[in-house]
């Protein structure tokens, strides 16, 4: 998936409003109301690059589509489980395994080259590589 427009289409198809909102702490967030409807807030002033917007929107859609929500009183392990599920959805949508394999076969071998090719940040690319190779999101352990 090359651009955030595809993610906006998914949000529209799933009836998930994406609302411009000032979010100086995080850049984005999603909420689910008591009836199960999801809403995504994106701070486009804070997220300057297309890559940042795409990653944030992908992650928040991951929460909505997988139902991975927690409350502020959740323990860290429960919270991380939901974050990992959202990250996995975003990675598999933005950098499908077969497309990553094809990119490597085409000569894109460094994290920088792969990130540029998939139009994501280098941090997100590292997380994707860790997920596909080690089934882990712990980039500090492998990079």
Kindly report which listed range (5-14, 67-76, 127-136) carries the lowest average pLDDT score. 67-76
* CA–CA separation, 25 and 95 (whole Å): 26
What is the tens place of the pLDDT at every residue in 68-104? 998 777 787 788 999 999 999 999 999 999 999 999 9
As for how many domains the chain has, the answer is 1
The domain in which residue 65 lies consists of: 4-142
* CA–CA separation, 102 and 47 (whole Å): 29
What is the tens place of the pLDDT at every residue in 64-77? 999 999 877 778 77
Q: Is this model's pTM higher than 0.85 or not?
A: yes
What is the tens place of the pLDDT at every residue in 105-117? 999 999 999 999 9
Q: How far is CA 129 from the centre of its chain?
A: 14
């Amino acid at each position: 998936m090359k651009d955030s427009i595809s993610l906006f289409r998914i949000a529209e198809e799933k009836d998930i409003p994406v609302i411009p909102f000032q979010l100086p702490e995080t850049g984005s967030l999603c909420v689910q109301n008591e009836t199960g409807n999801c809403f995504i807030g994106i701070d486009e002033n804070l997220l300057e690059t297309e890559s940042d917007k795409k990653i944030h929107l992908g992650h928040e859609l991951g929460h909505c589509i997988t139902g991975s929500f927690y409350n502020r009183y959740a323990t860290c392990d429960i919270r991380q489980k939901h974050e990992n599920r959202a990250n996995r959805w975003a990675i598999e949508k933005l950098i499908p395994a077969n497309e990553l394999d094809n990119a490597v076969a085409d000569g894109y071998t460094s994290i920088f080259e792969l990130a540029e090719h998939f139009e994501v940040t280098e941090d997100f690319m590292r997380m994707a590589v860790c997920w596909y190779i080690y089934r882990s999101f712990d980039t500090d352990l492998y990079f």
